[in-house]
Amino acid sequence: MSDRMSGTAFRERIATGTILPLPGVYDVFSAILTCRRFDGVFLSGFSYAASAYGLPDVGFFNWRDVAEFVSRLRSVLPAALILADIDDGFGDEVVAAHTVRQLEGRGASAVMLEDQKRPRRCGHFKGKEILPIDEYAQKLRAVLAARRSLVVVARTDAVDPMEGLERARHYAELGADAVMVEAVRDLTLIRRLAESVACPVMVNQLHGGLTPNWSLAELADAGARIVIYSTPCLFAAQHAIEGYLDGLARDGRLAATGTVEMSACAGVLDQGMARL
């Protein structure tokens, strides 16, 4: 899929009016498994920082990490919708615009750009600070001017719900293709935002986060059009790996045949080889 087609495909999908769920992935293997079940993936900064660096989501991964991740995914998932987390754009408006051009050139379908100050942190953690609205607006304009068809989701990390609502509305007026208020706790806010902007509204669902675990149907009814799930693959992998290794440490041997289906893993990898 070309860079221009990637963004176009994302736009066409959200234009259908059917809500788009995008599970967060942390590597190519988790992305392949996800795309057997969903139309696309979310390249989660939280999951990538944990997987690649063993560090928390406080700004350690950079634009090169995301660009390489997008390239690896696009090479094996030519038709997938790929939404990439780019934090605050990894710098000022010049760096943010460069990041967007790089990702679009490598096949990203969409990016999420937040209005946090550095040092930044996971949107569901305490201690967040946000940029003055004019400073973020300058960055958002630069990103919108730099892309061709790439979809740009403007995210606000405002802690006060009403400030988040107003910021999201303003970002929509500036031309963002979609908007999101991070760590939203009330479906009413999602509904109010959806009713007051012309672009799609996105919601982030995170295990243990501040946002309630709403169903896809509840979110769709409130007016959300895109839902990202930041950590399901990462947390599922941790649970499965620890359980398996506990058994290995306890029993001193590999798990019994049937506990782990090795042929399933081999089949996924064989599909990758077939593309070479």
Find how far residue 193's CA is from the centre of its chain: 20
Question: Can you give the pLDDT at residue 207?
Answer: 86
Task: Walk me through the domains of the chain, giving residue ranges and CATH numbers.
Answer: 3-234 (3.20.20.60)
- Per-residue model confidence (pLDDT) at position 3: 46
Closest CA to 109 of 100, 98, 117, 118: 100
The predicted structure's pLDDT at residue 126: 72
Position 208 scores a pLDDT of 82
Sheet strands (E) in 104-196 = 110-114, 151-156, 178-181
Report DSSP letters for 50-93, one per residue: IIIIS--SSS---HHHHHHHHHHHHHH-TT-EEEEE-TT-SSSH
The Cα 71–Cα 107 span in angstroms is: 7
Give the per-residue pLDDT at 252. 95
What the block records as the tokens of 118 is: 């550095």
Inter-CA distances, 90 with 83, 93, 149, 168, Å: 16, 9, 21, 20
Average pLDDT per 10 consecutive residues for the chain, totaling 276 residues: 74 96 97 97 94 90 95 96 97 97 97 90 69 97 97 95 96 98 93 97 90 95 97 95 94 78 62 62
Nearest to 5, CA basis, from 82, 65, 84: 82
Q: Is the dihedral of CA 159, 93, 2, 171 positive or negative?
A: positive
